[in-house]
Amino acid sequence: MSDDGYSVLRSFSTKEEADVAAAALNASGVPAIVGNAHSAAMDWTVVQAMGGIQVMVPSSMLAESRVLLDEPANDEPSEPLRRNDQWKARILLLWVFGPVALAIGYAVVMFALDLMASH
């Protein structure tokens, strides 16, 4: 690999997107850097005027890097994910509707007692 400098591979609108792309490239063996992230961190309102947050790779690896970023990720789970936090929804339902259910139950009991007392 000749050291002929770095070229902009792609520009992103957020630093996080650029960091993920650079990490994916680095994991694939392509030395990638996030270009103007520090300038954007100082004044994020000018990111688009600066051309976005740039991911840069060695010029000799530009074509390989494009292929790596463009191929779809194969991260489909083998089985559907199951949520383990359904208890939160149950507690919320009890918290919201519990007092209503108690009030209705109390009203039904009082109505039944009134009916029994009147006979």
* pLDDT of 34: 93
pLDDT in tens, 78-114: 677 677 778 888 888 888 888 888 999 999 999 999 9
Q: Whole-angstrom Cα distance, residue 77 to residue 34?
A: 30
User: Does the CA dihedral 96-97-102-108 come out positive or negative?
Assistant: positive
Q: Whole-angstrom Cα distance, residue 68 to residue 23?
A: 12
pLDDT in tens, 23-41: 999 999 999 999 887 877 7
Does an H or E element contain 92, and which? helix 86-118
**Burial degree of 69 (CB within 10 A; 0-12, 13-18, 19+):** middle
What pTM, to 2 d.p., does this model score? 0.56
Task: Please state the separation of Cα 22 from the chain's center in Å.
Answer: 17
Q: Whole-angstrom Cα distance, residue 115 to residue 119?
A: 7
Distances in whole angstroms, Cα of residue 60 to Cα of each of 5, 10, 11, 33, 48: 8, 15, 18, 15, 27
